[in-house]
């Protein structure tokens, strides 16, 4: 990755509050902004739980459809 590209990526992360940068002389150091990461992790976890529940319901529907298809398939053979 080029230096310019890296600066753009770090700049976006800094604007989002995920990192802080400090320049001392010609050296720039970056530090993770843990507070913001904790907030984002909580937001992601909330949606993960939501989608896990939705996919569990979808799994139940698919299993029921498979059971019905097997039963219907047996009836047609008789």
Helix (H, G, I), strand (E, B) or coil at 42: helix
Residue 77's pLDDT is 52
All residues at 6 or more sequence positions from 14 whose CB lies less than 8 Å from its CB, including other chains? 20, 21
Sequence spans of domains, the chain? 1-32, 34-78
Q: Is the pLDDT of residue 3 over 90?
A: no
pTM above 0.75, yes or no: no
All residues at 6 or more sequence positions from 10 whose CB lies less than 8 Å from its CB, including other chains? 19, 21, 30
Dihedral in degrees, nearest 10, Cα atoms 10, 15, 40, 22: 60
Band (pLDDT 50/70/90 cuts) for residue 6 is confident
Query: Tens digit of pLDDT for each residue in 34-78?
Result: 777 888 889 999 999 999 999 999 999 999 999 988 888 775 554
Instruction: Compare 76 and 13 and report the one with higher pLDDT.
Output: 13
């Amino acid at each position: 990755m080029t230096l310019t590209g890296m600066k753009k990526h770090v700049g976006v992360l800094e604007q989002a509050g995920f990192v802080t940068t400090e320049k001392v002389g010609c050296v720039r150091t970056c530090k993770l902004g843990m507070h913001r990461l904790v907030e984002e992790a909580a937001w992601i976890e909330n949606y993960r739980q939501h989608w896990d529940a939705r996919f569990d319901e979808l799994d139940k529907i698919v299993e029921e459809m498979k059971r019905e298809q097997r039963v219907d398939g047996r009836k047609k053979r008789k």
